[in-house]
Amino acid sequence: MAASFQGFRSLIENSPDAISLIDTQGEILYGSASTTKIFGYQPEDLVGRNCLELIHPDDRDYSSRLLREVVAKPPGPLKWDARVRHKDGKYCWVESTLSNQLLEAEVKAIVMQQRDIQARREAEAERQKQSEALVRSNLRLEEFAYTAAHDLREPLRAVSLYTEMLVLNTPMDANATRLAKFIAEGAARMSTLIDDLLTFASTGKHEPLRNVDLGDAVTQATENLGLAIQSSGAEVTIDRLPVVRGREIPLVRLFQNLISNAVKYGGPDPIRIHVSAQQHGAEWVIRIADNGIGIAKEHQERVFLPFVRLVNRDIPGTGLGLSVCMKIVEGLGGRMWVESESGGGSAFSFTIPAEGNVVSMDCRVEAVAGGR
Ligand code: ADP
């Protein structure tokens, strides 16, 4: 047998992977020098043993099935990961590739190529552990933000109510009236902040996915913003938008936040907002473009973080709108970004999976209000 391996052996002897030749039952006929490096065994210790014996009991049935498949369907290389016992008794993760060379005159065996992937597996397990810990910690943080915001409502209501009663029932000089007005304004700002925090913290709590017509979602959003759009004189145009698998209320909120920002951060020209969609492979890219004040390059990633605002207090807002949008998009498996230039308008885009979930397309163009 060994003589017929000579040509083949010279090719594999220097390979960093362990290469073994096995018969149709898994018995090892030959092992390359690298088997020592990976498994600790000298090649001659392995010859005559069954390779399935060295595989972890939990991975053995599956591995044995793959061997039978490769034997039945030449040459079909098959690759899989399994734990293999090292000479020191510990199991290590190994990627094995089996190819059927039974009909090759030089080989006449199943070729098994094995690579040590223990470090890769450990890194993957560590990453998985970290991402699960992050999800748990985010959930706890959301719970905390939700409870804190919820509990702050009551005392805030009391502050507003008693300030109002104080103003109505107590004779006050101009200075005291001015101070009471500051308290009322502060309480109103805090109330908006609490509402936005509650929205942010509850955005991750999912209702089931349904087919949502994005055209209807934008229409709903523009209706909700009717007053703001009309008083700003903004013109909103909407292209054909797809039907996607999503959650209606969050999707309306997503469009509402983006369109409301486009109105709030309009520039000197009459505000124009355009909503469009393009399919790129397995996803839709939905774009909300405006001709407003724009966002400088260095701030374009930051604006998606909670509480980041680039404007002064004269423009109302809590800095939570875009982080809510990002959470909604990520909750549907998408990504979100902005393309913009300071003074040159902004285009916010988000992706939403399209594969297998597009039911129909709708076409509408809507000018909610004319120019200023
Ligand atoms: P808010 O509008 O309550 O401040 P957001 O999270 O929605 O909070 O937005 C964060 C910041 O990003 C805003 O304060 C603003 O500076 C900037 N921004 C958002 N949308 C736009 C836009 N369409 N054009 C220019 N700047 C924008």
Q: What is the pLDDT of residues 77-104, one digit of tens each?
A: 899 999 999 999 999 999 999 999 998 8
Q: How far is the CA of 322 from the centre of ligand 1 (A)?
A: 7
Mean pLDDT is lowest, of 33-42, 56-65, 219-228, 236-245, for 33-42
Residue 348 has pLDDT above 90, yes or no: yes
Tell me the backbone φ, ψ of residue 284, rounded to 5 degrees.
Answer: -95, 145
Rounded distance, CA 43 to CA 137, Å?
A: 49
Q: Determine if ligand 1 sits within 6 Å of the CB of residue 311.
A: yes
Q: Determine if ligand 1 sits within 6 Å of the CB of residue 260.
A: no
Rounded distance, CA 119 to CA 127, Å?
A: 12
Chain position carrying tokens 């998606």: 304
Q: How far is the CA of 25 from the centre of ligand 1 (A)?
A: 66
Is 83 in a helix, a strand, or coil? strand
Q: What is the largest CA-CA distance in the chain?
A: 112
Residue 127 has pLDDT above 90, yes or no: yes
Rounded distance, CA 183 to CA 164, Å?
A: 10
Per-residue pLDDT at 77: 85
- As given in the structure block, the two tokens for residue 184 are 């009322």
- Nearest Cα neighbor of 273 from 330, 233, 320, 246 is 233
Q: Determine if ligand 1 sits within 6 Å of the CB of residue 34.
A: no
Per-residue pLDDT at 358: 42
State the pLDDT confidence band at 369, using cuts at 50, 70 and 90. very low
Q: How far is the CA of 215 from the centre of ligand 1 (A)?
A: 23
Q: How far is the CA of 76 from the centre of ligand 1 (A)?
A: 56
Per-residue pLDDT at 145: 87
For 248-284, what is each residue's pLDDT tens digit? 999 999 999 999 999 999 999 999 999 999 999 999 9
What average pLDDT score do residues 208-236 get?
Answer: 94
Residue 1 has pLDDT above 80, yes or no: no
Tell me the Ramachandran region of residue 233: left when phi exceeds 0, alpha when psi lies from -120 to 50, beta otherwise. Answer: left
Q: Determine if ligand 1 sits within 6 Å of the CB of residue 261.
A: yes
With the most atoms of ligand 1 within 8 angstroms of its CB, the residue from 236, 261, 305, 308 to mutate is: 261
For 164-213, what is each residue's pLDDT tens digit? 999 999 999 999 999 999 999 999 999 999 999 888 888 866 778 899 99
Q: Are 368 and 230 in contact (CB under 8 A)?
A: yes
